[in-house]
Structure 1
Amino acid sequence: MSKNSKIQWTDHSWPIVTGCIPKSAGCANCYAIKDSWRLSHNPNPKIREIYTGTVEKKGETLRWTGLIKYHPDRLKWVEQWKKPARIFVSNMADLFSDDVPEWFLDLTWAYMAVYKRHTYQVLTKCPDRLNAYLNDPNTPQRIAMWINAELDINKHPGNDYPPLPLNNWAYDKFSWPLSNVWVGVSVENEVVTHRIKTLLETPATIRFISCEPLLGPVELRPHYLYEDYQESYRDNEKLDWVIVGGESGPNARVCQVKWIQSIVNQCEQTGTPIFVKQLGSNSNLEVKGKGDNLEEWPQSLRIQEFPTIL
């Protein structure tokens, strides 16, 4: 069970999907492929089975096979975590991969609705499917069906079940969009900033981006941040949170500190919460390891903020 995550902006990881398909440059040195390979050789068969077949090794190179697995039994972890926490949803794979079925998305959202003591952080490189799912007027109805079935696959009536009445009790369990679910997209360079536009057209209480690994300068302010933060906080075209960090590991690509500083400056000018996670293992400053020791950073980068829900 992935409690006490080492990722600084979350508390626990919830690896409910395993196996992935690379989407853009940020995927090249992904930690998940190395961890998945390692875990696929775990001596515990229950752990090994979760990851078996998702990664293959060609010479010294690891690569995803394209096999996507989803794990309903792991959804129950959030019930066992009694203390309210921030939870990184599907940290080992993309929840919105095409091969993850809609019913599993519905069941995941139903768990998040029922166990609302937690805050769930959903990060994807597939913003189009995220957008379509959360904008689908039938999505809350399908989630309500899972709540009515007590989150039990054996009790779910299936797709042929007649529509629930709008005054069904399950609708009173959650507002839409869920107030405890944050959704975000990865934006590692200017090439993929188009993901932000799709994100901002997606209904969510908190919308955020993760500029990690940051592979080049990213200009946000002209299009996605506003000067008057308090007035525009609920505007559909406003980012609510930004994470930024350099790449870590032996093959880390360059992350110039000035790129991180630029994003920090843009967020500070607009009052947007910013979380600087790490400088990376290949920055132009001398730092140890992944560059996550704040004492080694310039004072202007020592910022680790979270969004506030008004």
Structure 2
Amino acid sequence: MDASKQQAFLGMGAMGRGMAAQLAMKGGLSKPILLWNRTHKTAVKAEESIGGNSARAVESLVEIVREADIVWSCLYDQPVVERVYEEILEKVDLVGKVVVECSTITPEGADGLARRVVGAGGRFVTMPVFGSPSMAAGGQLSCITAGPAADVEAIKSFLVGVMGKAHIDLSDQTPGKAQELKLCGNIFNFTTLQQLAEFYTMVEKAGIGAKRGHQLVQALFPPGTPQAIYGEGMVTGRSFDTQNIVVDVEKTLHIAEYVNALADRNGVPLKAYNLAVDNIRAVGDRGDFTAVYGVVREQSGLLFVPNEGSV
């Protein structure tokens, strides 16, 4: 895709902010990337973080999409995606625009949105991503794309080496297929949380200590892997910081609903996955989703939040 095209990014949450910054810094763009968020001051902060010469916050959703040639979006959940695109489809001429939807939504939601965007004259690619906010900020995401091959080709230069480290290309498959693969991959995330929570609790109760146990995790799993990232949050206590939630429980449980719906359609019992889901649900408002560690601690007769000496 010609880097002279005007790019816009909708959604300045932890993931979207990092992705937009990588586009601005590494995408070779000739124009500042346009930023939008439902809370405008969040977009302004993102502009300041990226740099005023490389980014510009726009308050109006309609105006930013009108001005853009390529519209990326990474929004909180499916209801937000539906509300945002309802306004776009009602008020903006999408003819010729490339829309890249990166939010985690249902496969049916992705296919339905694609039909509406294409019906309005636009081009549509779905691109859910794997990785943490820190990986988004470092351009280390794994990107899954689906949609017409020509439309995927139009954004390919902004993936590996810019926003991501890997690209799983499902070109010419329906947009929902990328979401299906993303949901299947969520099984790794949740079961990893459960495994780590059990491991750190076990080494704590055995008198070894979670910090020493974490040295084994670091030896077995390279930096940037879910094990390394989630484990670091557990042993440093970041998992229990209710003022700086990285991935909140409510959003996590929405995704679990999508995963289980897909599993039910395919007749796959996700027993290990749903053990993790139950424990994430038990976290409540006591931390982010990695605070499943605290739930397993409680189940084992320990305090939910480790004291400083134990970690």
The answer to whether the superposition gives a TM-score over 0.5 is: no
Q: TM-score, normalised by structure 1?
A: 0.29
Q: TM-score, normalised by structure 2?
A: 0.29
Instruction: Give the number of the structure whose residues are more often helix, by fraction.
Output: 2
